[in-house]
Each structure stands twice: as structure tokens, then as C-alpha cells.
Amino acid sequence: MKDEQNNSKILKSRYIPTTEFYSQIIDSLQDYSIFTIDEEFIINSWSSGAAKIFGYETDEIIGKHFDVIFTEEDIKIGIPKNEIDAALKEGRATDNRWHICKDGSKFYAYGLVFPLTGKDGELLGYVKILRDLTERKKSEDAIKKYVKDLEELNTHKESVLAILSHDLRSPLTGIIGAAKYLKSNFSTMEQNDVKEMLELVYKSSTDELNMLDYLVEWARIKYAAEVFSPTKIELVQYVKKVFETLNETAVLNAINLHNEIEENESVFADGKMLLSILQNIVSNAIKHTQTGGNITVSAKRKEDKIIVEIKDSGIGMSKEIQAKLFTPQLKVLASARKENKGAGIGLLLVKGFLEKNGGEIWVESIEGEGSSFYFTLPIDKPLNQIESAEDIQFDESA
């Protein structure tokens, strides 16, 4: 009897875990996505952690190609195959990148791929393990953004001071000088000379006010965050408002304005900023388009953003001008002011407003043929938007 009990203990101590036992362990790892693919890169097993992270149930994903979890950009440059090739060559491949869930949302993950071999060393397929690092990625990106914002803030402060001392102070000195001369010599001056000097004072004062208005708006996006109030906006209505405001100027120059934005196309943005963005770009397009030309505003969706195009048939611009268009220096601003009453600051304002709303801007242009300004805005409120440093949270367990 004792011998039988001892034999039983020995057998229990030599218990070899079954495939089901290992499967249960894998399925208990809810923070990890673990799945296998065959030699044709077709998914043939799927853990419960993978179902939780990606949103696909096992019967929905089995039989699908490995590519289904990668972004379009990564697929285009061959990332899935590169991972497999690296795993075969090195025995394993690791990376950090964005992946796509069933509902189209993205998550950032640490990934590991390694070959799966049989008893005789034959290749059976591959194992892919992913850990969701989205929260850590958001925290790291937020820190980088705040560092960049602080650097830009310092640069903007210096630029504002330079403009105040140069582009505002110098003309103001001229206005004061002209007013002083008029005050001292008004009774002895010819009427035409008085009129000419008053026109000069009026024009200089108007230019000064225009520049000051741009500076106030520019400062607002950098220093007055409390006025930032993004909401869901129908894009077509804002384009109509801008066209109504600028229609008289366009008609005088026989320029045709075309609004090709579809009804109910919306963006998530601050209304006043969006109006300023559109007005600045369309206004500049009118200034640089010859008589009888066309300006068209259109939009298309790309993932979670709207891309707006403002296309003109104007004079276009060189590559050198395009490269410096959204990073104007003091000399450029001063020159632009003389020629176009602050257009340089206008584009800087546009860039700042778009960045504040989670968008970006770029231009494509051919000299003599025209320009297309493109900018993006989110369709909906960003789920991972971080408004202040207090919103940053670190995943210490990652």
C-alpha cells in the first residue's frame, strides 16, 4: 500500500503539462496579444488577450492575413514581411509601432515575432506577441510636446518683442514726427501739402493697426489658452461665410470662388480660429491670382481627419519661398508688411491656429500655374487629447 502511494507521488511530481494547460496560461495574460500565423502569414490561433486588445473574436480573425493588424502606411513600406524576414534571420524580431483594431482605432505596442518550429526543426509558422503601450506613448509624446511648446514659446516671445521694437515702433515714430510737423506748420502750409501729409499719417496708422491686430491674434493662440473652445463645426458654412466676406474683392478682380465642400462635412475645431484660417488663406489666394482666375475650396476624409485644399490659379511660388513660408523671420515679416500689410504674420497665425486644433498645413505650388494650400483638422474630438501637464499619467508597471 505504501509503495503504491509513493509511486503515485512520484507520478504526480513527474506530471507533464498538457497543451491545454499552456493554452490556459496564455489566455490568462489579458495585457498581452498572443497569436500564431502559418507560413503563408495567415492567422491560425488567437488568445483571449488578443481578442480584448484588437476587438476581434477568434472566429472573426482566424483565416485572415497577418496584414490586418498593421496600418496602411506600414503595409505600403513592407513592414509585416520585414518583421518575418528579420525573425527568420535573427531568431526573433522586435519593434514598437502603431497597430489597427477592428473598429479602426489605433494602439501603440511593443511587438515580438519569432519562428515556431517542430520537433525535427521544420518551420511551422510564427508566434506574434504584443503588449499595449499606448498610455506610455501618450505620456512620452506629451512630454516632448511640452518641451517643444516651451522652446517655441520662448522664440515667439523674442519675435513679438522684435516686431514691437522694429515693425511697430519705427512707423509710430514717423507718425508722431508728421503730426508734430503739422501741428507746428499747419497755418503756413499749402492745402495740398496738408492733405498729402494727412493721407500719409492715415495710411501709416491703418497699417500699424493691421499689424497690431495680427499680433494680438498671434499672442492669443500662444498665451490665452482659456479662449480656445473647439466644437463640432459644419465646414461648408464657414467657407460660405468667408466667401461672403471676400466676394466683393473677388468680383472686383473678376476672380471666381468655388465652394466644393459637401453638406454635413464637419470638423472638430475652434470656430473663430477656423474662420481666421480660411479667411487668411483665401484672402492671400485672391491677392496672388490674376484677373479671371479661379479659387476652389474642397475637402476629403483620411482616417480620422479632414484634409482641406484651397487651390488657386495664381502666380505660384518658387521652392525657396515654399520652404520658408510657415517659418517667417523678422526681415521677411517686415518685407511682407510693406508689400501686403502683414501677410507674413497671417500665415504664421494660420499655422499656430491649426497646431492648436491638432492640425497641420503645407503647400504645393508651381510658378506661373498656381498654388494649393492644404490643411488638416480632426473630424471628432481626439480621445487622447492632453490639455495640460496635469493630464499626463505614467504607467509604472509597463
Task: Kindly list the averaged pLDDT for each block of 10 residues, start to end, along the chain of length 398.
Answer: 52 47 49 82 86 87 90 90 89 87 86 84 86 72 65 61 60 80 88 87 77 66 63 93 88 92 91 88 90 94 92 91 70 44 63 87 92 94 54 40
C-alpha cell at 75: 503595409
* Listed residue (158, 93, 151) closest to 127, CA to CA: 93
Give pLDDT, residue 17: 44
**0.95 cut: is pTM over it?**
no
Distance from the Cα of residue 19 to its chain's centroid: 47
- The answer to whether 346 and 361 have CB atoms below 8 angstroms apart is no
Report the run of H or E that residue 319 belongs to, with start and end.
helix 319-324
Q: Give residue-wise pLDDT tens across range 58-84.
A: 889 999 998 888 999 999 999 988 988
Torsion of CA 137, 139, 144, 146, to 10 degrees: 150
Give pLDDT, residue 104: 87
| Phi, psi dihedral angles at 98 (to 5 degrees) | -85, 145
Report the run of H or E that residue 123 belongs to, with start and end.
strand 123-132
DSSP 20: H
* Number of neighbouring beta carbons within 10 Å of residue 396: 6
C-alpha cell at 230: 473647439
How much helix, strand and coil, in percent to the nearest 5, is found in the chain?
55, 20, 25
* Listed residue (371, 351, 345) closest to 288, CA to CA: 371
Measured between alpha carbons, how far is 238 from 63 in angstroms, rounded to an integer? 47
Largest CA distance in the chain: 135
- Which residue segments constitute the domains of the chain, with CATH numbers given? 2-135 (3.30.450.20), 146-226 (1.10.287.130), 228-381 (3.30.565.10)
* Number of neighbouring beta carbons within 10 Å of residue 391: 12
C-alpha cell at 291: 484677373
Distances (CA, A) of 273 to 18, 49, 217, 354: 63, 43, 9, 8
* Listed residue (123, 118, 121, 37) closest to 80, CA to CA: 37
Q: Give residue-wise pLDDT tens across range 172-198.
A: 777 888 888 888 888 888 888 888 888
